Chain A
Amino acid sequence: MDAVLTRGLTKDYGARRGIFDLGLTVGEGEVFGFLGPNGAGKTTTIKLLMGLIRPSSGSAAVFGLDCEREAVAVKRLVGYVPGELPQYGGWRGSEVVAYVSGLRRDVDGAEVRGLAERLDLDLSRKYREYSHGNKQKLALVLGFMHRPRLLIVDEPTTGLDPLHQQVFNALVREARDGGATVFLSSHVLSEVEATCDRVGIVRNGRLVTVASLAELAGLRARRVEIDFADAPPVDRLARVEGLEDVSADGRRVTGMLRGSFEPLMRAIADHRVTGFTSREPSLEEIFLSYYSEAAARPDGPPTGAR
């Protein structure tokens, strides 16, 4: 059974804000990254999955349960880490955990202790005394403490130091190893790179593409940097088939190469080259590449949602 299934899911806030015609499938046991810049529609999608807002049209289901009509049953299976942290004022962390545990009734105290220990979170302090990072840690404890079948996390590492980002990544891996599904929204590509099996990219409320990390990497170009001994043949390089975004800085030329190296090699064969670097682009560069491509098309290329 699919952990998440959306069909034509739309939430239209007007002025082209919201999420439109989202068709998405996330398999059970999968870690799915949902990528997009601010305002792309990631949080709207998550709120629709959580039944916090009602769709304008279409439907969303979690493990076959309708997110709107069977919201309570859905929430028994889901752990949620919101992107915007709630305010608990003078409550102590321990009181927030006890209160939410009381609402769920499926929380193991040992799990809470373990999570607080790993995240180095002092539950005796008042919420208003917590730093942003500690508030985020408390949100993670609340999301993970009942070992949910599906974790929906919205930009979870905001405010966490690198050490605790690693802890979060480990928690996600452990959840997946334990059979849980993770739906992770982010605009931080490194956290997606570190944890996800597949990635969906959303832009302006529309799904641009869905692909595995490997597929995504295969689709893109390679980053090349060429150092010339003399003045670089910039005009000639700009005409090389598959070489894009060519820029020169002194005697160094950089660009993105799609396809074969042959045309580029022929173009520089007559020049003295003192350095040549070709590397896998970061997901950041792939991400930007998708956006620039999609921006060139009227509605973007919503490709295979599996």
Chain B
Amino acid sequence: MIPTLVRLALRAHRLGLVLSTIVALLFALGNVFGYAQISGDTPQERAVFARQMEILGRQLSYFLPLPSELETLSGYLQWRHFGSLPIVYAFWALIAGSGAGRGDEERGLVPQWLAAGVPRLVYLASRVAAFAILCALSIAAMSAALILSSRAVDEPVAAGSVARQAVALLAFAVACFGVGLLVAQITGTRRASIGFGGALLLALFMWNSWARTNGAQDGVALVSPFALYERSQPLYSTGSLDVPSVVAMLLAGIALVAMSALAFARRDVGEALLRTRRAGTVSREPSRDPLLRLPVLASIDQQRLSILGWAVGLSIVSVFFISLTRTIVDQLQNASPVLRSFFERAGISAYDTFVGVIWGSTILLLLSLYAIAQVNAWVSEEADGRLDTVLAQPVSRTRVVLERIAAVLVAGSVIVAVVAVVGTAAASSVGIELDRSRVATAAALLVAVILAFAGIGALLAAWKPRAAVPVLALVAIYSYFVDQFAPLFEWPEWIGDATIYGLFGAPFSEDVPLWPGPISLVAIAVLGTVLATAAMRRRDVGR
């Protein structure tokens, strides 16, 4: 029975394995070949490149570790590649941990296993083991690609160093999996566990960012697995694997899994660990909430907590990064007098530009996730049979599609508006006055990006529901990588512009003409919606 259990557990994590490995491989190959392309051939060229890249790296210190040894491929990979990967693996670990702790239970699989005589501990152990095995495989594949591609560009990185960094990454992923698993025991639904677990990991990430920016990474920051992970830097000539940090991450992972097992043993299947007792009153009345009875607003009403969560979460992220702006930019300008004089001559406020970087990358990426989460909810609506109930009422299929898009438009606009207002106020409070018209343009473009994702998602949800989320994730990943690599590889401008993130442009630092950006984004949304209504009308609905 246990081999079967492990086989099924391996199967349960396969989508995460595939997507995470694709991202990690693309990132590995992109970084190696990108470095070879742009870093120059002579020591002088390398030194110039390293200096420029260091300036960029310091600008991104809210996001990535501080750079070093950028004149070598090893150093570049330590900073850019292994500095970014924790985000990818933390995301997978969170989703996998939530799935193992709550998702299988919601699908009725856990009761079946327990009824078949599988002890709870064995069930949980199988899921943990499966994740660890697949995560190790994914990291091994990425490491192999890194080593082979570095040989292909005649600048081989030391396999031993890569292997040591891979061990740190695996330990980090196991710790994050433990976070997801434990939160799933405490919360009542998978959705809630992803929300709370994501918020917790984001807080730990931001905690480390704050500590890094303020030079406090050796102290209290070490409660964050992100900080522990960054202590290992074996690809630097003077760096090494920080064994105590790796052991700490592994022990944290094991402790979190043990606590999850304890919680799982103590709680009822299908219930959260902490449960409030219900009031004894009985009601036969329909809800008096008037919004539930109105088109579009009914959908918004159902998502009110989720919308609030996204608005508050993204506002906190914005405030946090904006609060770091002065520190980072001042450090940057002190490190580079050339850059300072350049900004002064050009009359550019470096603070404004930096805030624009945050809006143009972090918030954009998180709002794409919001749109993908909405599409996932549409797919679930059909898989869970709720769409059957809607279509059993006098409601046309066209209305279903249009209401979905309208709900995303309204909810997305609310979230973006809150984030824009909070971000502008936060910037003002630290003495950075943002150009209001540029903020408004950026906000409108962010809504257009959400709509473009929603339009593609609506089509996929109506046409091939199972493919909707993976394809949208690939669209986001593709856009992100092209956005990152098009300048490095000096690809033609149109390739960078022809992605969703490329169409968003840089509204904080330059004017955005209606064509191609905004018009294209709206056109994608409209075309996706029109095709979605056609697909929805023609297909069979139901489980």
Residue of A nearest to B190 (CB): A89
With A87-B385, A113-B285, A122-B282 in contact, do A72 and B293 touch (Cβ < 8 Å)?
no
Contact of B388 among A82, A101, A109 (CB under 8 A): A82
The answer on a CB contact under 8 Å between B285 and A109 is yes
Question: How many Å lie between the Cα of A113 and that of B250 in the bound state?
Answer: 56
In the complex, A95 has a CB within 8 A of chain B: yes
Q: Which of B280-317 contact A (CB under 8 A)?
A: 281-289, 292-295, 298, 302
The answer on a CB contact under 8 Å between A87 and B284 is no
Question: How many Å lie between the Cα of A208 and that of B518 in the bound state?
Answer: 61
In the complex, A147 has a CB within 8 A of chain B: no
The answer on a CB contact under 8 Å between B393 and A100 is yes
The answer on a CB contact under 8 Å between B287 and A51 is no
- By a CB distance below 8 angstroms, the chain B residues around A98 are 286-289, 292-293
The answer on a CB contact under 8 Å between B286 and A86 is no
With A52-B542, A54-B538, A54-B540 in contact, do A104 and B393 touch (Cβ < 8 Å)?
yes
The answer on a CB contact under 8 Å between A123 and B286 is yes
Contact of A90 among B189, B292, B393 (CB under 8 A): B189
Q: Which of A273-305 contact B (CB under 8 A)?
A: none
In the complex, A261 has a CB within 8 A of chain B: no
Question: How many Å lie between the Cα of A78 and that of B391 in the bound state?
Answer: 11
The answer on a CB contact under 8 Å between A52 and B292 is no
Interface string of A87-103 (1 = CB under 8 A from B): 11111101101111111
Total number of residue pairs linking A and B with CB closer than 8 Å: 119
The answer on a CB contact under 8 Å between A86 and B389 is yes
The answer on a CB contact under 8 Å between B385 and A109 is no
In the complex, B392 has a CB within 8 A of chain A: yes
Chain B interface, number of residues (Cβ within 8 angstroms): 38
Residue of A nearest to B391 (CB): A52
A133 to chain B, nearest CB (A): 16
Question: How many Å lie between the Cα of A54 and that of B543 in the bound state?
Answer: 14
- By a CB distance below 8 angstroms, the chain B residues around A80 are 389, 392
Contact of B395 among A72, A78, A91 (CB under 8 A): A72
In the complex, A85 has a CB within 8 A of chain B: yes
Question: How many Å lie between the Cα of A54 and that of B536 in the bound state?
Answer: 12
In the complex, B396 has a CB within 8 A of chain A: yes
With A94-B286, A94-B287, A116-B284 in contact, do A50 and B389 touch (Cβ < 8 Å)?
no
In the complex, A112 has a CB within 8 A of chain B: yes
Residue of A nearest to B284 (CB): A116
The answer on a CB contact under 8 Å between B384 and A87 is yes
Q: Which of B392-430 contact A (CB under 8 A)?
A: 392-396
Chain A interface, number of residues (Cβ within 8 angstroms): 48
Question: How many Å lie between the Cα of A92 and that of B543 in the bound state?
Answer: 23
Question: How many Å lie between the Cα of A90 and that of B106 in the bound state?
Answer: 12
A182 to chain B, nearest CB (A): 16
Residue of B nearest to A117 (CB): B284
- By a CB distance below 8 angstroms, the chain A residues around B285 are 94, 109, 112-113, 123
In the complex, A125 has a CB within 8 A of chain B: yes
In the complex, A121 has a CB within 8 A of chain B: yes
Question: How many Å lie between the Cα of A82 and that of B393 in the bound state?
Answer: 12
Question: How many Å lie between the Cα of A71 and that of B400 in the bound state?
Answer: 14
In the complex, A271 has a CB within 8 A of chain B: no
Question: How many Å lie between the Cα of A112 and that of B286 in the bound state?
Answer: 7
Contact of B287 among A97, A103, A107, A116 (CB under 8 A): A97
With A50-B392, A103-B395 in contact, do A97 and B542 touch (Cβ < 8 Å)?
no
In the complex, B386 has a CB within 8 A of chain A: yes
The answer on a CB contact under 8 Å between A128 and B270 is yes
Question: How many Å lie between the Cα of A23 and that of B529 in the bound state?
Answer: 37
Question: How many Å lie between the Cα of A155 and that of B219 in the bound state?
Answer: 64
Question: How many Å lie between the Cα of A132 and that of B287 in the bound state?
Answer: 22
The answer on a CB contact under 8 Å between A142 and B389 is yes
Question: How many Å lie between the Cα of A104 and that of B391 in the bound state?
Answer: 11
In the complex, A239 has a CB within 8 A of chain B: no
- By a CB distance below 8 angstroms, the chain B residues around A89 are 189, 191, 384
In the complex, B152 has a CB within 8 A of chain A: no
In the complex, A234 has a CB within 8 A of chain B: no
Question: How many Å lie between the Cα of A50 and that of B390 in the bound state?
Answer: 11
B88 to chain A, nearest CB (A): 29
The answer on a CB contact under 8 Å between B289 and A95 is yes
Contact of B396 among A53, A71, A94, A99 (CB under 8 A): A71
The answer on a CB contact under 8 Å between B395 and A124 is no
With A82-B385, A85-B385, A103-B393 in contact, do A52 and B540 touch (Cβ < 8 Å)?
yes
The answer on a CB contact under 8 Å between B284 and A92 is no
Question: How many Å lie between the Cα of A84 and that of B294 in the bound state?
Answer: 27
The answer on a CB contact under 8 Å between A75 and B384 is no
- By a CB distance below 8 angstroms, the chain A residues around B284 are 112-113, 116-117, 121-123
In the complex, B541 has a CB within 8 A of chain A: yes
Residues on B close to A: CB < 8 A? 188-189, 191, 270, 278, 281-289, 292-295, 298, 302, 384-386, 388-396, 538-543
- In the assembled complex, 25 residue pairs joining A and B whose CB atoms fall closer than 8 Å, in A order, are A52-B540, A52-B542, A54-B540, A72-B396, A75-B393, A75-B394, A75-B395, A76-B394, A82-B389, A86-B385, A86-B386, A86-B388, A89-B191, A89-B384, A95-B302, A97-B287, A98-B287, A99-B292, A101-B286, A103-B390, A112-B284, A122-B283, A122-B284, A123-B284, A123-B286
Residues on A close to B: CB < 8 A? 47, 50-54, 71-73, 75-76, 78, 80, 82, 84-92, 94-95, 97-105, 107, 109, 112-113, 116-117, 121-125, 128-129, 142
- Can you list the 8 inter-chain pairs with the closest CB atoms, starting with the nearest? A102-B293, A86-B385, A116-B284, A124-B283, A87-B384, A53-B540, A98-B287, A80-B392
Known: A53-B542, A99-B302. 19 other contacts (CB 8 A): A54-B538, A54-B540, A72-B394, A75-B391, A76-B394, A82-B389, A86-B385, A86-B389, A88-B384, A95-B289, A95-B302, A98-B287, A99-B298, A103-B390, A103-B394, A113-B285, A122-B283, A124-B282, A125-B278
